[in-house]
Amino acid sequence: MTAEDYKNGQLVLIDKPLTWTSFQVVNKIRWEIRQRYALKKIKVGHAGTLDPLATGLLILCVGKLTKQIDQYQAQEKEYTGIIRVGGTTPTYDLESEVDQHFPTAHLTPELILETTRKFTGEIAQKPPIFSALKKEGKRLYELARAGEKVEVPSRKVTISTFEITDINLPNIAFRVVCSKGTYIRSLAYDFGKALQSGAHLSALRRTKIGDFSVANAMSVDAFIAQLQEGGSVDY
């Protein structure tokens, strides 16, 4: 792989590590490419944000391929993870502490499986207040952390698959296939409400984007090692 190869456009599949932001991954990969080839600049962007506490597939577009980011973002995505019932958090995940507790004694496997049907097909979903969406030029999470009350409008998303893969209360393991713009944190929160309990997301991993699988992705360290060797990966 040469500097010109990256400038002309390359797709890099990264398995995002836990606690890293998607932006940190982009910055790290950009810096490593620049260092390796002594470039003043190189365009790198990602096709769909993953929260810091999520892991899994992050598609990076390098060079001229950044013009196709929207094309990759628009593709269907698959996630696996764990919803923890019995409590909610302000961020709908483990980035914040549980602020309310709810009963779980009434929950049965039958009720849990039946409730998933309410969340398949086209549904209306409110994005989390703690998200990177913008309102009047400011990120929602910035407004939320400042204590401002913000009304977030619902939007239509499509969930084609919502499969429960294991129930070990308070943890419910799942697999979801969904459209662009779906927030799995919001799905966890709404699912808890529909169960007449409360819930938050305790683990999340993106396994697919369109035809691309995390099975073919590299760790950040593996990409850096490959970069030093000058190799390439055929996706």
Say how many C-beta atoms besides its own lie within 10 A of residue 154's C-beta.
11
CA distance 95 to 165: 24
Distance of CA 48 to the CA centre of its chain: 7
Distance of CA 234 to the CA centre of its chain: 24
From 51, 99, 190, 211, active-site residue: 51
Q: Are 231 and 27 in contact (CB under 8 A)?
A: no
Q: Would you put residue 48 in left (φ > 0), alpha (ψ -120 to 50) or beta?
A: left
Q: Does residue 51 carry a catalytic annotation? A: yes
CA distance 6 to 192: 45
Peptide bond into 170 cis (omega under 30): yes
Q: Are 143 and 131 in contact (CB under 8 A)?
A: no
Pairing relationship of beta strands 54-62 and 44-46 according to DSSP bridges: antiparallel
**Whole-number Cα distances in Å, 148 to 82, 91, 153:** 30, 15, 16
Active site residues: 51
